[in-house]
Structure 1
């Protein structure tokens, strides 16, 4: 558990540094207002040593078509399928094969108080649950990869679009030992190449 918290703290610190370094001050307000846009998700990748940490944040509507706890059997089945797809992190985001990366963990927070997904799905805190009851719930997914050849890490391809057709674009930011950057990924352009400094 401490290991996961250490990774989460490291990812958060790197993400904050990336956000400060790549977003001009005048864009901050616009970005905050557009954080919850249906059809769009945010993904951040941070590589440190042989670890790659990835965070995906998406409106629930972009992944499952609704933004509250499921109410019907069909909605529960949709949520279960989405959770199963997201747990297959190495299919949702494919790091270039030369780096030899493999998925260690996938943690999913569906943003509802009662997602019914058992031990893999993490339940939101009360504040988030209140928002997810009838408001704007977000999925937050954390992936941890370990790589045999981290120096060869050079690109990522999103399989996310094929599993979630309502998802139209992903704003992708990355920090690696070689540099930092970002890209807007779409179903027609799902690959980002990490550009060295």
Structure 2
């Protein structure tokens, strides 16, 4: 079954994710060092995590890498993010497997990133799709971004789940993002 043909999923994902990303493109205040924004949609057999972050959180700079050391740092960060199942550990009761991962950063030459910011304010955005056998059982995601990267200090999350819509904030060193009524 093609997930993106499912009308509810397409509508929910579009509506839920459009507002935060549109706001970030228009608002310079949305680019906050140390902060990662996550939008999480749980629908049918799928959990999608959309991430928005300053590039600095992952590599320590906000421009194209210039030295061999910076290139290595960027390559390592990209590899860690592509292994999304190590960074986003969904409640085992949901029985999820990582599907497509998409990363966007014009400074790193990844995808088409709609960054409104200029030099010195580059972002690294991504989406992580998980295919699950029991998403209704999911009650939390353990997020390992604080352990994997030095830059993130706070995660602002919005969650659209069968149980409702939730906003949560995680501050270093907390890792469990839980939702329920």
* TM-score bin, normalised by smaller chain: 0.7 to 0.9
Query: Which residue number corresponds to residue 40 of structure 2?
Result: 45
Count matched residues.
175
Matched, 1:90 2:85: yes
Structure 2: distance between partners of 1:50 and 1:5: 13
> What is the Cα deviation at residue 157 of structure 1?
1.0
Question: How big is each residue's C-alpha offset from its partner over 1:40-61, in whole Å with a ceiling of 9 and x where there is no partner?
Answer: 1101100111111111111011
Report how far residue 63 of structure 1 moved: 1.1
Distance 1:150 1:176 in 2: 9
Cα distance change, pair 60–9 in 1 and its aligned pair in 2 (3 A): farther
What is the RMSD computed on CA atoms of the aligned residues?
A: 2.7
Residue 155 (structure 2) pairs with residue 153 (structure 1) = no
Going from structure 1 to structure 2, the CA distance change for 1:92 and 1:33 (only over 3 Å counts) comes to same
Give the TM-score, by structure 1 length. 0.78
C-alpha distance 68-184 of structure 1, shift in aligned 2 (>3 A): same
- Find out whether 1:141 has 2:145 as its counterpart: no
Alpha-carbon distance between aligned partners in 1 of 2:64 and 2:17, rounded to the nearest angstrom: 29
**Residues 181 and 88 of structure 1, relative CA distance in 2, 3 Å threshold:** same
- Give the distance between the partners of 2:156 and 2:144, measured in 1 at CA: 14
Residue 187 of structure 1: how far off its partner (Å): 2.6
Structure 2 unmatched runs, 5+ = none
TM-score by length of 2: 0.85
Shift of 1:177: 1.0
**Structure 2 equivalent of residue 124 of structure 1:** 113
Q: Following superposition of structure 1 onto structure 2, how do residues 44-83 of structure 1 map, counting pairs within 5 Å?
A: 44-83=39-78
Residues 39 and 50 of structure 2 are in contact (CA less than 8 Å); yes or no, is this contact kept in structure 1? yes
